[in-house]
Structure 1
């Protein structure tokens, strides 16, 4: 497919798309997270490619749509990151995958617990 070819398959993180397509994990999203994905995808790819990725994500049966029921707002360095941790905590996610160091705060907390993995760690978990 044309749009798929525009996604750089040489990036290490491409395995996440492949694993998701193979239903190796569920991806949890909220309205606010989908809006950020749309914004970031358009920054890196063309709008049609961003639309393709979002369409794939929104129509997959291993996508879980949820909204955070409590706003923990534990990340003070970049408040915008809280949308991800708030949702992960609300759905009791097994892990949150990111390279973002702002989420390191969860390594220092006894409660609430959130397992934050970088993509390399996530790949090992899937294997």
Structure 2
């Protein structure tokens, strides 16, 4: 399964006591392939450094960059579909470009994609993605 994961979901999955820690563990278990771009990694680093610490950010980024189920890619086209928060376009552009199965985000700005038939992109919440990984019907 090919996925692009928004920063808000990564940030929520870091603490071991978080209800979303399963995202991090499922990734470590190789249950999905995580696609990232340079721009996305830079945002991960910035937000994780602000939320936790620089050390935590570096540890998480190291884990991501050496994992066998991480794929580095760059969007080949800028669709710029998210007008309400243009900074989110880096995630949707990459997800479209790599033909991701899912863009995982709890950000409501991606709701616009439900009304766009082309290019097609499935956005699901972190809760929905974890349920999918567990094989649970929502």
TM-score by structure 1 length? 0.93
Larger radius of gyration: 1
Q: Secondary structure of the equivalent of 1:27? A: strand
Q: Secondary structure at the match of 2:71?
A: strand
Pairwise CA distance, 1:110: 1.1
> Which of 66, 78, 84 matches 2:73?
66
What is the rounded CA distance, in whole Å, between the counterparts of 1:115 and 1:12 in structure 2?
23
Aligned to 1:122: 129
What residue is the counterpart of 2:113 in the other structure? 106
- From 37, 41, 53, the counterpart of 1:46: 53
**RMSD across aligned C-alpha pairs, in angstroms?**
0.8
| Greater length-normalized contact order (CA 8 Å, ≥ 6 residues apart) | 2
Q: Under a length normalisation based on structure 2, what TM-score does the superposition of the two structures give? A: 0.85
CA distance in 2 between counterparts of 1:26 and 1:12 reads 21
Please state if 1:86 is matched with 2:83. no
Q: Distance in 1 between matches of 2:128 and 2:122?
A: 11
How many Å separate the matches in 1 of 2:54 and 2:130? 28
- Map Cα deviations across residues 80-103 of structure 1 (whole Å, 9 max, x no partner): 000000000000000010100001
Moved over 4 A (4+): none
Gaps of at least 5 residues in structure 2 are 1-13
Q: Which runs of 5+ in 1 are unaligned?
A: 1-6
The structural deviation recorded for 1:51 is 0.3
Question: Matches of 1:95 and 1:81 in 2, distance apart?
Answer: 15
